[in-house]
């Protein structure tokens, strides 16, 4: 079968345009994800998470587990590689429950604090009080993985219980994600951030700190949308021209 030279030219242009558009989309996705300093939840926490498999993971994690709840990867002694000493001891008493939901639409759960500031290389102790009847967590992500398996420090308090744990933060300015691992609780307000030093920018959708859907607008470099629009228009123009 033979093809008219014209149609082959058109289809190769069309293919180019499609590739261009795909590239645009991919570039946008990369811009979106690289701009969030602490990896988004989806990256680190399976959405459909099974009940915590304490026994399976006991070998990889430093874990304490009793009726009050669970403390995972508590570390009061080992310094991160970039810290020569502990700069300061910081303690927080954190309450969790429906009483701490901020009065905004869609908020049912909350922490007594949704933002914590600590100095680089500080040793942070969290006293976590759960005032609800269901279990809640205070789970921190993004710590150095050589020191904290999966980069995680994790407290879980059963209903009405109290647990405590300690971790040492690295020296760099960074903002870490904190949340309750029960997806609905996080979506309904149990999300917070730990700001070390000057931090690395607010995470999105932290109650009382940042708006729900501002991460794309704020983090995408200026001109990216314009560039994408220009390329799509160019692709469109090429297609139109070849059809004339
Ligand atoms: Cu919870």
Distance 200 CA to ligand 1 centre (A): 26
Distance 59 CA to ligand 1 centre (A): 25
**According to the model, what pLDDT value does residue 21 have?**
54
Distance 129 CA to ligand 1 centre (A): 12
Distance 135 CA to ligand 1 centre (A): 6
200 close to 107: Cβ distance less than 8 angstroms:
no
Distance 210 CA to ligand 1 centre (A): 20
Distance 156 CA to ligand 1 centre (A): 9
Distances (CA, A) of 59 to 56, 72, 144: 7, 12, 18
Distance 48 CA to ligand 1 centre (A): 15
Distance 164 CA to ligand 1 centre (A): 16
**According to the model, what pLDDT value does residue 237 have?**
83
Show pLDDT as tens, one digit a residue, over the chain (244 residues): 444 444 444 555 455 454 445 554 544 444 444 333 343 443 334 333 334 444 444 445 688 889 999 999 999 999 999 999 999 999 999 999 999 998 766 789 999 999 999 999 999 999 999 999 999 999 999 999 999 999 999 999 999 999 999 999 999 999 999 999 999 999 999 999 999 999 999 998 898 888 765 444 444 555 666 777 788 888 888 887 766 5
At the topology level, CATH places domain 62-213 in Immunoglobulin-like (2.60.40)
CA angle 218, 176, 121 (to 5 degrees): 125
Tell me how far apart the alpha carbons of residues 37 and 239 are, in angstroms, rounded to a whole number: 39
Tell me what percent of the chain is helix, strand and coil, each rounded to the nearest 5: 30, 25, 45
Distance 157 CA to ligand 1 centre (A): 9
Distance 189 CA to ligand 1 centre (A): 9
Non-local (6+) Cβ contacts of 64 within 8 A are 70, 71, 72, 74
Distance 180 CA to ligand 1 centre (A): 5
136 close to 182: Cβ distance less than 8 angstroms:
yes
Distance 158 CA to ligand 1 centre (A): 10
Q: What is the DSSP letter of 148?
A: S
Distance 98 CA to ligand 1 centre (A): 9
Distance 9 CA to ligand 1 centre (A): 58
Element spanning 156, H or E? strand 153-157
**According to the model, what pLDDT value does residue 225 have?**
65
Give the pairing type, strands 89-97 and 123-130.
parallel
Non-local (6+) Cβ contacts of 70 within 8 A are 52, 54, 63, 64, 154, 155, 156, 163
Distance 136 CA to ligand 1 centre (A): 3
């Amino acid at each position: 079968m033979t093809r008219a030279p014209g149609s082959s030219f058109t289809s190769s242009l069309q293919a180019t345009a499609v590739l261009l558009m795909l590239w645009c989309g991919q570039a946008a996705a990369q811009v979106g994800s690289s701009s969030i300093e602490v990896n988004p939840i989806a990256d680190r926490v399976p959405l459909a998470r099974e009940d915590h498999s304490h026994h399976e993971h006991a070998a990889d994690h430093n874990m304490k587990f009793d009726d009050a709840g669970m403390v995972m990867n508590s570390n009061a002694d080992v310094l991160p590689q970039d810290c020569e000493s502990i700069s300061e001891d910081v303690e927080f008493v954190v309450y969790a429950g429906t009483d701490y939901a901020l009065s905004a639409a869609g908020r049912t759960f909350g922490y007594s604090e949704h933002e914590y500031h600590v100095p680089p290389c500080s040793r942070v102790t969290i006293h976590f009080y759960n005032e609800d009847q269901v279990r809640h967590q205070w789970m921190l992500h993004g710590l150095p993985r050589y020191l904290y398996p999966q980069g995680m420090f994790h407290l879980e308090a059963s209903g009405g219980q109290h647990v405590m744990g300690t971790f040492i933060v690295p020296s760099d300015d960074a903002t870490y994600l904190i949340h309750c691992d029960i997806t609905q609780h996080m979506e309904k307000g149990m999300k917070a951030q730990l700001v070390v030093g000057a931090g690395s920018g607010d995470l999105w959708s932290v109650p009382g700190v940042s708006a729900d859907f501002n991460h794309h607008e704020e983090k995408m470099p200026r001109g990216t949308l314009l560039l994408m629009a220009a390329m799509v228009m160019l692709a469109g123009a090429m297609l139109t021209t070849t059809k004339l």
